Chain A
């Protein structure tokens, strides 16, 4: 019993499209346990989803998308296009040019970036982009790239604050993130309401970690496995995944996480490399593909929703993929030791660039260039069926990306299947950490509190794998965007503090007070 209202016309399409992922002919699930979980889940979360994705009055434009765009634009302008001014310095920081050799053995800028990236690079880059392009048309890619470029400024702001206002404990451990900078930063500036806002963020962060960071991943991983081995009840996959996640986050079996964390970057490079090869193989169509992307961005090329539809999809999927403005990266980066909080901001602004501007664009280009989206030969326009573009073989989600890669490199779908499962796993591990930090903010630091969250997290792995994609993807999106609502309010209030840090650092950099070590 799903409570879809008119607002979720796009979500419905999204659900309908994405439900049939890799191998589109998934038969209806027979398991009654799965159905029970699904029904309960959809009916309890519907109101929250409806609120977050409510359209602006009189339009079909969700207010949350406008919120994210405005936030990123404000931060870009406030810091004078910081993302383009400091990128060279960012790369030097990552390379270790400014790292004091005396600090060797501490987490390096490179490691901080890699850890944060392994939390964001994942299904959003593979499945999310396919959803965006099949609903919004190739033009969605343009808006996705723009959202990625603007998001760099949001990421810069939140990660700087994350390091600056973290909590350090006597045993050397650190807790940081939006809940800490909102509380401390607001108090410092004498703005009331910091505590309440921080609690709200922490609640949403727990939900986001259980939703997008857990259930969505478990769900997609199950779809992948079911696609390879044939359909079977989702809770079985869920239990297997839950046991592995349990072993890592509760049992302290770090070796598993360490192995996946080493394979994930390799998978990312393999993915981009293959995409680049496919694009180059079709070099004669590169110009045409970019033409489609630009034309589609402003005209919609006759796709449902036109330009606005492309824009909504592009921005939505970009935010879901690179998490800029969401606040999760601030939690990941805050554990890093650095004398200058702003350097963590400089490094983190590379994340939306790598995640969205590079990797997501690769996915979109491959889908467009391999001509997976069907064009009516008579009119030259895309064939739109039930709100999304018809694809060769009727695929969508991961399946569409898989088919696009498979049309050029026949064995790649198998690699992709493994990659999706690993990406899902590494994203789950990262989000279990984010959720835990929010949880301990709410309930206090302590072994008991930590264990209770970790057990809850494992339970949601099972629920996520068993539930249908529709309600899961809606709830996941909603929880993560709810984090962004609170976080961006916090960022607006704390902009002057970041500005002060930035000006001070840049002037010391120019004067030579901050110098290279090699």
Chain B
């Protein structure tokens, strides 16, 4: 059985706690970590002609920003601590993408943080952690 653990990281404090939790799991078990950052994206949204034209350039900017500001510093830090880390940046629905990556990499487990907001927004739209708990193909740890 593969010993890969996926940790979804969005740059938030909760995400950071999830990273630390996952790092501790891997450190004990000689496994590797997939540091996954998902940019929310739907291929069925509506764009204006200008947005269509700018999309390709903007995508490059978004990817570069996600890489430099969110993913790379954490990856470097984990590697410095002696862990094996793969970083992935993907576009898509956050929940679906995490599940897809879990299947692709044959991960043992998903680790995700939760913001703990129980407000109107999460009641209306649900939360990623809540949705993952329902649909994750592998065990899922939600770090408070």
Chain A residues close to B by CB (< 8 Å): 96, 99, 101, 104-108, 110-112, 114-115, 118-119, 171-174, 254, 257-258, 261-262, 264-265, 332, 335-337, 429-430, 433-434
Q: Chain B contacts of A104 at CB under 8 A?
A: 41, 43, 90-92
Q: Does B50 touch A at the CB level, under 8 Å?
A: yes
Contacts of B56 in A (CB 8 A): 106-107, 172, 174, 337
A171 smallest CB distance to B (angstroms):
6
Asked if B48 contacts A115 (CB within 8 A), the reply is: yes
Chain B residues near A110 (CB-CB < 8 A): 43-44
- Chain B: minimal CB distance from A351 (Å): 14
B65 interface hit (Cβ, 8 Å): no
Contact present for B52 and A107 (CB under 8 Å): yes
Known: A107-B47, A433-B50. 17 other contacts (CB 8 A): A96-B43, A99-B43, A101-B100, A104-B92, A105-B39, A110-B43, A111-B46, A115-B46, A118-B46, A172-B57, A174-B53, A257-B50, A258-B51, A261-B46, A335-B49, A337-B55, A429-B49
Most buried by A among B45, B46, B47: B46
Select from chain B the residue with minimum beta-carbon distance to A111.
B47
A119 and B54 alpha carbons, distance in the complex (Å): 18
Would B48 and A258 count as touching, CB distance under 8 A?
A: yes
**Given A104-B90, A105-B59, A105-B62: A332 and B52 within 8 A (CB)?**
yes
What's the Cα separation between A479 and B47 when bound, in Å? 27
Which of B51, B52, B56, B91 lies at the interface centre, i.e. has the most chain A CB atoms within 10 A of its CB? B52
- Confirm or deny: B60 has a beta carbon within 8 angstroms of a beta carbon on chain A: yes
Chain B, residues 15-53, CB within 8 Å of chain A (1/0): the string is: 000000000000000000000000101011111111111
A101, A105, A173, A265: the one contacting B53 at CB < 8 Å is A173
C-alpha gap A470/B50 in the complex (Å): 32
Taking a contact as CB atoms under 8 Å apart, the answer to whether B48 and A429 are in contact is yes
The answer to whether A265 and B54 touch across the interface, beta carbons within 8 angstroms, is: no
Count A-B contacts at CB 8 Å: 84
From A111, A171, A261, A337, name the one whose CB has the most chain B CB atoms within 10 angstroms. A111
What is the bound-complex CA distance between A105 and B65, given in angstroms?
14
Q: Are A106 and B48 within 8 A (Cβ)?
A: no
Q: Which residue of B has the minimal Cβ distance to A175? A: B53
In the complex the two chains form, what is the Cα distance from A400 to B116 in whole Å? 55
Q: Once bound together, how far apart are the Cα atoms of A336 and B59, in whole Å?
A: 13
Q: Are A108 and B43 in touch, CB under 8 angstroms?
A: yes
Q: Which residues of B contact A172 (CB under 8 A)?
A: 54, 56-57, 60
Q: How far is the CB of A159 from chain B (nearest CB, A)?
A: 13
Contact residues in B for A115 (Cβ distance below 8 Å): 46-49, 52
Interfacial chain A residues near B63, Cβ < 8 Å: 105
Question: Nearest Cβ in chain A — how far from B26, in angstroms?
Answer: 26
A-B contacts, 15 of them at CB < 8 A, read A101-B100, A104-B41, A107-B56, A111-B52, A112-B52, A115-B52, A171-B57, A254-B48, A258-B48, A264-B46, A332-B52, A337-B55, A430-B49, A433-B48, A434-B49
Q: Which B residues are in CB contact (< 8 Å) with A101?
A: 92, 100
A258 to B48, CA, bound (A): 7
Question: Is A335 within 8 A of B52, CB to CB?
Answer: yes
Min distance, Cβ A446 to any Cβ of chain B, angstroms: 16
Instruction: Return the chain A residue nearest B58 by Cβ.
Output: A172
Task: Tell me which residues across on chain B come within 8 A of A335, comparing CB atoms.
Answer: 49, 52-53, 55
- A336 contacts which chain B residues (CB < 8 A)? 52
Asked if B45 and A111 sit within 8 Å, CB to CB, the answer is yes
